[in-house]
């Protein structure tokens, strides 16, 4: 697409009414300008006010946990849980919405006057899973977020080399066993602060295994950023 065509597309997007991601309400241009917030590009005022408050405090973990803190945007409940399911099944347009929510939580709650991570690691998927799905939803959220925060992405520095079928119906102990040594590192993260971004954290076995690979590679600090935790 030419620069001019891109420019015209942006102008069109700004001037045309948009639809609320959650309820379908038509948001007119004057309402977007009046309401101001970036999230109002995608949500109507009522849905914005209904959003669950992002979990403001990190869940700090007792040592010797593999990661240092876990930050969660919201509890696993409708309607936001529905958006995650849609994202996983191909509605990639929702990725920028979640990136905006992360940006808001990071700048106003999680890292106020604290140093941001040096690197952002979208939870790696096994190549077979990427082939099945066609994309990695965590990467899709991380791409715009990385640009907005100025934090580089780790794309191939941690590799998921063990394929695991859908683990949702397995017992926690079996999940833990499956995830053992599921990731390997192929570079050093010595003295670096890394954030792992994942959409849904359930038992925590996957992020733990991923964090173990980062620890093996000497990462100094590991935070987990997830859209939602499902207990």
The site for Zn ion (CB under 5 A) is made up of 20, 22-23, 25, 44, 47
Instruction: Return the number of the residue (49 or 132) whose C-beta is nearest Zn ion.
Output: 49
Instruction: Return the number of the residue (33 or 46) whose C-beta is nearest Zn ion.
Output: 46
Residue 127 and residue 160: Cα distance in Å, rounded? 8
- The residues, ordered by sequence, that sit 6+ positions from 227 with a Cβ below 8 Å of its Cβ are 72, 73, 74, 80, 84, 98, 101, 102, 141, 198, 199, 200
- The residues, ordered by sequence, that sit 6+ positions from 163 with a Cβ below 8 Å of its Cβ are 126, 128, 129
| Least gap, CB of 22 to Zn ion (angstroms) | 5
Indicate the helix (H) or strand (E) that contains 201. strand 193-201
| Least gap, CB of 90 to Zn ion (angstroms) | 22
Q: Which residues pair with 221 in a beta bridge?
A: 193
Residue 79: is the preceding peptide bond cis (ω within 30°)?
yes
Instruction: Return the number of the residue (71 or 97) whose C-beta is nearest Zn ion.
Output: 97
Instruction: Return the number of the residue (53 or 107) whose C-beta is nearest Zn ion.
Output: 53
Instruction: Return the number of the residue (22 or 207) whose C-beta is nearest Zn ion.
Output: 22
Residue 168 and residue 181: Cα distance in Å, rounded? 19
Q: Which residues pair with 153 in a beta bridge?
A: 120
């Amino acid at each position: 697409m030419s620069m001019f065509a891109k420019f015209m597309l942006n102008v069109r997007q700004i001037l045309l009414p948009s639809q609320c991601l959650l309820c379908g309400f038509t948001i007119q241009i004057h309402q977007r300008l009046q309401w101001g917030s970036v999230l109002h590009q995608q949500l109507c005022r009522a849905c914005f006010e209904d959003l669950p408050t992002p979990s403001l405090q990190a869940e700090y973990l007792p040592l010797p946990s593999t990661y240092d803190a876990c930050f969660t945007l919201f509890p696993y409940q409708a309607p936001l849980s529905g958006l995650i399911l849609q994202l996983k099944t191909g509605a990639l347009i929702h990725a920028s919405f979640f990136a905006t929510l992360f940006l808001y939580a990071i700048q106003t709650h999680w890292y106020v006057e604290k140093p941001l991570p040096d690197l952002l690691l979208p939870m790696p998927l096994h190549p077979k899973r990427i082939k099945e799905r066609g994309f990695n939803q965590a990467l899709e959220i991380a791409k715009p977020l990385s640009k907005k925060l100025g934090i580089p992405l780790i794309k191939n520095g941690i590799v998921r080399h063990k394929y695991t079928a859908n683990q949702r119906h397995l017992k926690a102990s079996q999940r833990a066993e499956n995830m053992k040594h599921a990731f390997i590192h192929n570079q050093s993260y010595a003295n670096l602060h890394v954030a792992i971004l994942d959409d849904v954290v359930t038992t925590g076995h996957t992020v733990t295994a991923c964090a173990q690979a980062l620890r093996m590679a000497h990462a100094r600090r590991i935070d987990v950023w997830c859209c939602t935790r499902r207990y």
